[in-house]
Amino acid sequence: MAKRRTNQEWRTLFEHYESSQLSQRLFCERNGLSLSTFYAKRQQLKHCEKPNTVGFVKTEVVEKTTKYQATHVAVANMILLVNDVELSIPQGTPATYLAELIGALS
């Protein structure tokens, strides 16, 4: 039965392999390792040791409530053209006043 090794033992083996200048196959034969296990464990440890670029970032809540304040309310004026005269009529002007104004200008 194959010996079970810790991740640290595998890392030590990989360091020995790197410094040995041997091929993976020859290194495994000399150390009684399965080539497929050697390769798989090496890939697994490389993947685990890569820094994780996605994750959580520690933050601090500066203000617990958010206040919204309208600084500018958009106003749509109506433009009335009568006999080459342009009138800008504010939103909310009563319809009766407009009717009276149009009647006076015609």
List, for residues 65-96, the tens digit of each pLDDT value: 666 666 666 677 888 777 777 878 888 888 88
Q: Measured between alpha carbons, how far is 96 from 99 in angstroms, rounded to an integer? A: 5
**Which pLDDT score is estimated for 9?**
92
- Give the global pTM: 0.44
Nearest 5°: CA angle at 25, between 24 and 26?
95
Lowest mean pLDDT among 29-33, 45-49, 65-69, 88-92: 65-69
CB neighbour burial string for 65-88, b if at least 16 within 10 angstroms, e if fewer = eeeeeeeeeeeeeeeeeeeeeeee
Encoded amino acid at 13, one letter: L
Task: Give the integer Cα–Cα distance in Å for 18 and 11.
Answer: 11
Residue 36: per-residue pLDDT: 92
56-68: average pLDDT:
73
pLDDT at res. 27:
94
